[in-house]
Amino acid sequence: MDYRQSGVDIDSGDNAVQRIKKIARATFTPGVLSEIGAFGGMFRFPAATYADPVLVSSADGVGTKLKIAFMSGVHNTVGADLVNHCVNDILVHGAEPLFFLDYLATGRLEPDVAEQVVGGMARACGENGCALIGGETAEMPGFYHAGEYDLAGFIVGVVERERLLDGRGIQAGDRLIGLPSTGLHTNGYSLARRIVFEALGLKVDSLVPEVGDTVAGALLRVHRSYLTCVRPLLERRLVKGMAHITGGGIPGNLSRILPRGTGARIERDSWAVPPLFRFLQAAGDVPRGEMFRAFNMGIGLILACAPADADLAMGILKDEGESANLIGEVVSGSGVVLGSDPF
Q: Residue 10's pLDDT is what?
A: 65
Q: Which of residues 102, 129, 163 is at a domain's end?
A: 163
Residue 181 maps to a domain = yes
CATH classification of the domain holding 283: 3.90.650.10
CA 114 to chain centre: 20
User: Which CATH number characterizes residue 146's domain?
Assistant: 3.30.1330.10
More confidently predicted of 71 and 1: 71
Q: Which of 136, 163, 190 is the last residue of a domain?
A: 163
Greater confidence, 218 or 17?
A: 218
**pLDDT at 77 > cutoff 80:** yes
Residues 59 and 206 in one domain: no
CB contact at 8 A, 167 and 262: no
As for how many domains the chain has, the answer is 2
Tens of pLDDT, residue by residue over 156-180, are: 999 999 999 999 999 999 999 999 9
Looking at residue 7, its pLDDT comes to 65
- Taken in order 66, 72, 74, 80, is the CA torsion positive or negative? negative
First and final C-alpha spacing in the chain = 59
Whole-number Å distance between alpha carbons of 336 and 256 = 11
Q: In the predicted model, what is the mean pLDDT of residues 240-250?
A: 97
Cite the beta strand spans of the chain per DSSP E. 53-61, 96-106, 131-139, 149-160, 175-180, 207-208, 213-214, 241-244, 262-266, 299-305, 325-332, 336-338, 341-342
Q: 3-state DSSP call for residue 295? A: coil
pLDDT in tens, 317-333: 999 999 999 999 999 99
**pLDDT score recorded for residue 2:** 59
Residue span of the structural domain in which 12 resides: 4-163
3-state secondary structure of 242: strand
Q: Please check whether residue 271 lies inside any domain of the structure.
A: yes
Domain check: are 251 and 201 in the same one?
yes
Contact assessment for residue 83 and residue 223, using Cβ atoms and an 8 Å cutoff: no
Length in residues, the chain: 343
- Give this prediction's pTM: 0.94
